């Protein structure tokens, strides 16, 4: 009897150890340790029941092992190879009600089996397997035995990268996409045009990149700046590079959503083509307290941050320009959605413009907010005619929402609530929870735009507002965090602002509220921080505040 008790106790303790070793972010629906363990090495075989469906997952996993553990298992060729030490991707027949991305993961002594009804599920099951790997490098990796059942809560789980305020190289954009994939995020919102730079090659309008992609200097320090670096800076992505990045993301089941800003945040485009302005012959307004480099006359790409008065004039010429731009954009991005901005559009130039005032009178528009709605609706009609839909920041609600527009709610949650009540789709992206350019430590240990956003607040977000009736929750597509780069000039600083808050974002978007617990999350995050070290990520160390 004594031996039986000791044996049971040993098994219990083994289960406890295994349980402690299983630290997964985002938290799955169910995690059940089974007391076994699997040893992964170069002799492990990897195969799939339908190899073509598992190709992306197998390739990503093999490359991950090669990059961080310096070995690769062998791809198996047929079902006969499934005996012994094997990782098996099993494609199941879809069932009614299957969630895209759902999977099961079974780890036993002889095998790891990832099963799903779709390719995304295989991929996310593989990402969970990565989190079961030890964070110390070895040629034999012991994985705890476990049974996991999992599925995402929300269909849209995204992050935005602003490459306009500071241009980011192609290699980092790909790395950013990998970071999203490793956290089971599936949308990459790519901010490509703004006042400080136009970053996408448009062949019909070469001046957009010849002129609009470059600025003559950048302010030093916090806005309005203590000086100017007087360095010409900028860059853009060629169409070939964009195709490469879009495919790179697709191989990771991430959709790239491009953003072409309008009608505000258009200084770079107007610098290239002044006739897009209501006042083409008027020089860019430069505030007296803004340190400036280079010419001060004519239309200029902005060198500081903020909101600027020169915006697109809603003329036939502007709409033809934007339609031609969007034609090239839509040919590059297969995404259902095209983000058209719509935020922070000053109305002063429209108020002063005889053309705009006459247009309002002719169209029966009562104010400039309705003129902005007219602008957005005109663009939406064109985008929809090409088989796409628009997303806009929540300002597109002002003056009347375009018929099929999706609203990205950034000024808190109210815009999202209002849009959902109008039966429009919504992506929750409130700045108080998801603006990763805000400081994450107190006092801030680097220059930031301001604000304080600790990881605990990111984690606390609930996608479905209490003010929204349950029968309208269906209009909440998901959540997104944003990395604006006014004060983020390098990939290293970008990583620092992303990590570890991206882990909290991933759990907000993926995990059901019933399995979320912040104290437990912090425990699991300790293992994730070790993984960041394995990746060589520049993450914030003072996150627990």
Given a cut of 80, whether residue 359 has pLDDT beyond it is yes
Q: What is the pLDDT of residue 65?
A: 97
Q: Which residues contact 530 (CB under 8 A, 6 or more apart)?
A: 135
Has 344 been annotated as catalytic? yes
At residue 443 the predicted structure's pLDDT band, cuts being 50, 70 and 90, is confident
Q: Assign 41 to helix, strand or coil.
A: strand
Given a cut of 50, whether residue 12 has pLDDT beyond it is no
Q: What is the pLDDT of residue 80?
A: 54
CA atoms within 13 A on the CB side of 252: 28
| Listed residue (436, 415, 278, 438) closest to 342, CA to CA | 415
DSSP H or E segment with residue 47: strand 45-48
Residues 212-223 as b/e (b if ≥16 CB within 10 A, e otherwise) read bbbbbbbbeeee
Residues in the chain: 545
Here the tokens at position 207 are: 């001046």
Signed CA dihedral, 71, 75, 80, 83: sign only: positive
Architecture per CATH, 22-150: 2-Layer Sandwich (3.30)
At residue 327 the predicted structure's pLDDT band, cuts being 50, 70 and 90, is very high
In the set 323, 344, 369, 398, the catalytic residue is: 344
CA atoms within 13 A on the CB side of 256: 28
Q: What is the pLDDT of residue 95?
A: 76
CB–CB of 177/190 below 8 Å? no
pTM: 0.95
**What mean pLDDT, rounded, does the chain reach?**
94
pLDDT tens track for 485-544: 999 999 999 999 999 999 999 999 999 999 999 999 999 999 999 999 999 999 999 998
Q: Assign 127 to helix, strand or coil.
A: helix
Given a cut of 80, whether residue 545 has pLDDT beyond it is no
Q: What is the pLDDT of residue 81?
A: 62
At residue 465 the predicted structure's pLDDT band, cuts being 50, 70 and 90, is very high
As a whole number, mean pLDDT of residues 177-204 equals 98
- Proportion of the chain above pLDDT 90, given as a percent: 90
Domain boundaries, the chain: 22-150
| Listed residue (331, 335, 171) closest to 237, CA to CA | 171
| Listed residue (188, 196, 200) closest to 489, CA to CA | 196
């Amino acid at each position: 009897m004594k031996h039986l008790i000791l044996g049971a106790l040993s098994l219990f303790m083994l289960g406890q150890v295994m349980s402690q070793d299983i630290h997964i972010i985002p938290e799955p629906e169910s995690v059940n340790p089974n007391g076994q363990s699997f040893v992964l090495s170069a002799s492990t075989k990897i195969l799939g029941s339908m190899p073509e469906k598992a190709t992306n997952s197998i390739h990503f996993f093999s490359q991950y092992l090669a990059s961080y553990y310096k070995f690769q298992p062998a791809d198996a060729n047929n079902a006969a190879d499934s005996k012994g030490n094997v990782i098996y991707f099993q494609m199941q027949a879809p069932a009614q009600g299957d969630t895209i991305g759902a999977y099961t993961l079974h780890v036993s002594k002889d095998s790891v089996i990832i099963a799903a009804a779709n390719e995304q599920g295989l991929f996310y099951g593989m990402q969970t397997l990565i989190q079961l790997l030890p964070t110390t490098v070895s040629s034999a990796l012991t994985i705890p035995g476990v049974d996991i059942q999992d599925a995402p809560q929300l269909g849209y789980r995204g992050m935005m990268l602003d490459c306009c305020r500071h241009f980011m190289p192609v290699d980092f954009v790909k790395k950013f996409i990998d970071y999203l994939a490793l956290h089971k995020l599936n949308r990459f919102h790519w901010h490509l045009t703004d006042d400080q730079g136009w970053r996408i090659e448009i062949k019909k309008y070469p001046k957009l990149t010849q002129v609009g992609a470059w600025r003559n200097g950048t302010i030093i320090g916090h806005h309005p700046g203590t000086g100017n670096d007087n360095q010409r800076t900028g860059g853009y992505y060629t169409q070939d590079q964009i195709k490469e990045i879009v495919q790179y993301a697709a191989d990771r089941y991430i959709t790239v959503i491009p953003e072409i800003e309008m009608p505000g945040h258009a200084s770079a485009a107007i610098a290239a083509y002044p006739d897009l302005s209501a006042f083409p012959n008027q020089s860019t307004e430069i505030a007296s307290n803004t340190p400036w480099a280079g010419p001060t006359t004519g239309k200029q790409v902005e060198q500081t941050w903020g909101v600027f008065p020169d915006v697109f004039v809603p003329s036939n010429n502007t709409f033809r320009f934007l339609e031609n731009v969007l034609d090239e954009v839509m040919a590059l991005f297969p995404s259902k959605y095209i983000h058209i901005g719509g935020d922070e559009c000053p109305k002063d130039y429209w108020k002063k413009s005889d053309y705009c005032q006459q247009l309002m009178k002719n169209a029966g528009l009562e104010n400039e907010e309705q003129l902005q709605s007219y602008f957005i609706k005109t663009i939406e009609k064109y985008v929809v005619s090409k088989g796409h839909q628009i997303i806009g920041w929540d300002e597109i609600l002002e003056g009347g929402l375009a018929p099929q527009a999706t609203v990205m709610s950034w000024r808190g949650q109210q815009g999202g609530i209002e849009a959902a009540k109008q039966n429009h789709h919504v992506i929750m992206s409130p700045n108080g929870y998801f603006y990763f350019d805000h400081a994450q430590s107190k006092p801030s240990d680097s220059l930031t735009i301001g604000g304080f956003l600790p990881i605990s607040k990111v984690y606390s977000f609930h996608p479905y507002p209490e003010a929204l009736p349950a029968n309208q929750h269906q209009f909440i597509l998901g959540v997104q965090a944003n990395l604006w780069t006014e004060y983020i000039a390098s990939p290293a600083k970008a990583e620092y602002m992303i990590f570890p808050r991206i882990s909290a974002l991933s759990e907000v978007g993926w995990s059901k509220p019933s399995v979320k617990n912040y104290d437990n999350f912090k425990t699991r995050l300790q293992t994730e921080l070790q993984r960041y070290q394995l990746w060589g990520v520049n993450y914030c160390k003072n996150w627990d505040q």
